[in-house]
Amino acid sequence: MNRIKQLFEKKQKDILSIYFTAGFPNLNDTCDVIRELEANGIDLIEIGIPFSDPMADGPTIQDSGTIALKNGMTLKILFSQLIDIRKEVNIPLIMMGYLNPIMQYGFENFCKQCKETGIDGAIIPDLPFNDYINEFKPIADKYDIKIVMLITPETSEERIRLIDEHTDSFIYMVSSAATTGAQKSFDEKKQDYFRRINSMNLRNPRLIGFGISNKATLDAAQANASGAIVGSKFITLLKESINIKEAVKNLKEVLSK
């Protein structure tokens, strides 16, 4: 069974997923970050593929992508870094990136390499849903790569139910229509959105991302979904900390207070 499916069958609440940009802060940090996160109890990891035009990302993740690209990170190098990761790491791993570099690599080749390196799924924010259904899903299914779709407060109920019907891992529930970035709290409008999605009784579990940066936002996300995704805050800590170990230690501290 796919590791993402296994995780959500085993653990229905308080899942914590962490996003980081591959090749940041240094080109060869990728596997060290993954190992350190798993060692500290993280449930799921999203490995960001750096891209020159990341439209859904805020300044923090954009900057990390720019640095990673300057460091020389490419999909080919990323897959070569991950070739032996499953000898040490057991938690689900997801690639997150934009369509352009994935299509340049070749989508089937991408899925094949994901399978060979032990990647369990992919999040492609700019992949149109109809293209996913008609062209991408059959290829991803062939290699058992789960494609995770995003919803926002502006996503219609009809589209949400279609996504729920045609995916089978989890739904990435974006907390706002804005770009990524840390927030101190979720306002009543966001809380209404969380409650509205809860009332739909969707088949797939959900993780809430964008803006999770402290205990208040983490608790709010975990109270309204199966768990939360932290990205920008961890990127900031990777940049500010002495090393990866300290960055993960500091992450656990800021999420607990």
Active site residues: 46, 57
Q: Which of 245, 215, 246 is nearest to 230 (CA)?
A: 215
The secondary element (H helix, E strand) that includes residue 8 is: helix 3-10
The secondary element (H helix, E strand) that includes residue 111 is: helix 107-117
At 136 the three-state DSSP class reads: helix
At 145 the three-state DSSP class reads: coil
How far is Cα 243 from Cα 25, in angstroms, rounded to an integer? 10
Q: How many CB atoms lie within 10 A of CB 87?
A: 7
> Distance between terminal CA atoms of the chain?
36
Q: How many CB atoms lie within 10 A of CB 160?
A: 19
Residue owning tokens 């299914």 = 141
Residues 6+ apart with CB under 8 A from 17: 42, 43, 44, 45, 46, 207, 209, 227, 228, 229, 230
How far is Cα 63 from Cα 129, in angstroms, rounded to an integer? 28
